[in-house]
Amino acid sequence: MFNIDAIEDAELLLFTVESMEKLHEKVPAMQQMFQQNLINNFAASQRRINAAISFTAQEKYDDFVDRYPEIVKRAPQQMIASYLGMTRETLSRLRGQIAKSKA
The pLDDT tens digits for 24-47 are: 999 989 899 999 999 999 999 999
Q: At what angle do helices 28-54 and 57-67 cross, to 10 degrees?
A: 150
- Residue 2 has what pLDDT? 76
Domain carrying residue 34: 25-54
- Residue 7 has what pLDDT? 87
Residue 50 lies in a domain: yes
| Mean pLDDT on 38-63 | 94
Query: Do 47 and 79 sit in the same domain of this protein?
Result: no
Query: Do 50 and 60 sit in the same domain of this protein?
Result: no
Q: What percent of the chain has pLDDT over 90?
A: 76
Q: How confident is the model at residue 3 (pLDDT cuts 50, 70, 90)?
A: confident
B/e letters for 18-54, b = 16+ CB within 10 Å, e = fewer, are eeeeeebeeeeeeeeeeeeeeeeeeeeeeebeebeee
3-state secondary structure of 43: helix
Residues 2, 12 contacting (CB under 8 angstroms): no
- pLDDT above 90 for 70: yes
Query: Do 66 and 86 sit in the same domain of this protein?
Result: yes
- pLDDT above 80 for 1: no
pTM of the predicted protein model: 0.75
Please name which of 68, 51, 65, 52 lies closest in space to residue 95, comparing C-alpha atoms: 65
Number of domains in the chain: 2
